[in-house]
Structure 1
Amino acid sequence: MKPSILLIEDDRDMSELVGGHLEHSGFDVQRADDGIKGQALALQYTPDLILLDLMLPNVDGLTLCQRLRRDERTASIPILMLTALGGTKDKVSGFNSGADDYLTKPFDLEELQARVKALLRRSDRAPIGTSVNHHEILSYGPLTLVPERFEAIWFDHPVRLTHLEFELLHCLLQRHGQTVAPSLILKEVWGYEPDDDIETIRVHVRHLRTKLEPDPRKPRFIKTVYGAGYCLELPTGAQLDGLHDVLAQARQDREQKAEASNRATA
């Protein structure tokens, strides 16, 4: 079966160029030219991957990405954003909305294809031959990674991760206690070396800290080693004392803030 891709792009020429190239390369491509149609097709076809333009009519790409991530039916689909907005703030906004990767126009079609294949390899929705390589459960101290659910068990509490968050945490956990260089992270997690785009790593590290740290602003576990990379330091033995309660309180505080925010915007 061909890998299925949903291309949401309002520029007809770009849609024909990208869609035609991917179809010629062996992908099954569905197309939508605005955000509303794109969301409907995503729910109807649940593709293996979504290519999402940022500047769309009716519903913009950032809003659509957030909606897709909130819906259980589409939450696990890898999303690659395609946009002419290539500034750091634009990339951060894209990743914060839930995108897995970000490609700035104009781009090389071969690079696009390489990124598509890299995302499919890391997806639990990937077709045979492109499945994620990490089949075994990996565990150390209070952290266990469960590949089939893209989930972390952190101090006995399940934490749902995106594909790239899972891969990043897996990369760090394999080398816990060691400093991991950005170049190695980019190669192992993303499957390519995107011009040493350190901001990409920073955003996903920030997301992991939000999910795992009691105070993401003062990380205890996922540490930045300035000028060198990142280090995952997991507590053991007596270091575990009291951390269950600290993390439980932090989760409760975050849930209360989220509920208050939802009520304010309702």
Structure 2
Amino acid sequence: MSAMILVVEDEPAIQELLSLNLRHAGFEVRVASDAAGARQAVHERLPDLVLLDWMLPDSPGIRLAKWLRSSERTREVPLIMLTARGTEQDKIDGLEAGADDYVTKPFSPRELIARVRSLLRRRAPQLGGDAIDAGDLHLDPDTCRVTGAGQALPMGPTEFRLLHFLMTHAERVYGRGQLLDQVWGDHVFVEERTVDVHIRRLRKALEPAALGGYIHTVRGAGYRFSTTQEP
């Protein structure tokens, strides 16, 4: 499942450099050249991570960072500040505004990609490319394959994304609305009961290995992944 990165940068050469390197690394990229464009992009679709330039033509990037952190919808989105301002106080100001990391220009694209991946692993592990083992279940996001007790378990792309998210957040309970936002994306408008349909399909896909019980129903709350099977 490819992460979507929003690049907020007004210099065309740097914007292109970032976009090319991020796409080459397997990320989906959207770009904005100013704060107004960034707000519109976020309104249309919540990004998985924001790369934000400090100096924007219509508003300081640090003000946009504070705006992102002020909203419940965007406050958990990972944020990396990009700037030529490299003093200790500038870094403190950026971090206090809500940035998770701070990269000074000029920067190494390889180092930046490494920082992006590291931050996504910490804040959104389902967007990483690491294989996951839980009980008798093995999921490989790079090959989109799932095996249970040694046998292949074919499933649809939505069931795969749903299982990937639940496995990377094992033992936590998620309501239908939360799963829609995390798995389908908050820009997709579908009925919450759609989640129930795909949970049933996911359990059916896991049944050949007798692992359907890994998906727990928590009455009145939602669903949870646990290797302690439900009866």
* TM-score strictly above 0.5: yes
Partner of 2:160: none
Give the conservation status (yes or no) of the 8 Å contact 2:125–2:168.
Answer: no
**CA offset digits 1:59-93 (Å, max 9, x no partner):** 21000000000111111100000100010010000
CA contact (8 A) 1:78 1:123 kept: yes
Q: Cα deviation per residue 1:94-129 (whole Å; 9 max; x = unaligned)?
A: 001000000000010100000000010011474254
Q: Quote the Cα distance in structure 1 between the aligned partners of 2:98 and 2:115.
A: 16
Equivalent residue letter for 1:106: P
How far apart are the structure 2 equivalents of 1:73 and 1:88? Answer: 30
Aligned to 1:89: 89
Q: Given residue 82 of structure 2, which amino acid in structure 1 is its aligned partner?
A: L
Counterparts of 1:127 and 1:147, CA distance in 2: 19
SS in 1 for 2:30: strand
Cα distance in 1 between the residues matched to 2:173 and 2:67: 24
Summarize deviations over 1:206-242 as a string: whole Å, max 9, x none. xxxxxxxxxxxxxxxxxxxxxxxxxxxxxxxxxxxxx
Number of the residue aligned with 1:100? 100
Percent identity of paired positions between Structure 1 and Structure 2: 42
Map 1:41-190 onto structure 2 (within 5 A).
41-124=41-124, 126-127=126-127, 129=129
Residues 43 and 73 of structure 1 are in contact (CA less than 8 Å); yes or no, is this contact kept in structure 2?
A: no
Which AA in structure 1 matches 2:110?
E
Dislocated runs of 4+, deviation >3 Å: 128-131, 133-137
- What CA distance in whole angstroms lies between the structure 2 residues aligned with 1:35 and 1:73? 17
In the TM superposition, residue 147 of structure 1 has moved relative to its aligned partner by 11
Distance in 1 (alpha carbons) for counterparts of 2:173 and 2:91: 27
Q: Deviations over 1:185-213 (max 9, x none)?
A: xxxxxxxxxxxxxxxxxxxxxxxxxxxxx
Aligned to 2:142: none
Letter in 1 for 2:86: G
If the length of structure 2 is used for normalisation, what is the TM-score?
0.56
Task: Report the Cα distance in structure 2 between the residues aligned to 1:147 and 1:90, rounded to whole angstroms.
Answer: 39
Judged with a 3 Å threshold, the aligned counterparts in structure 2 of structure 1 residues 19 and 147 are, in CA distance, closer, same or farther, namely farther
* Higher RCO structure (Cα 8 Å, ≥6 apart): 2
Q: Residue 7 of structure 1 aligns to which amino acid in structure 2?
A: V
Distance 1:73 1:106, change over 3 A: same
Q: How far apart are the structure 1 equivalents of 2:6 and 2:173?
A: 25
Gaps of 5+ in 2: 131-164, 175-231
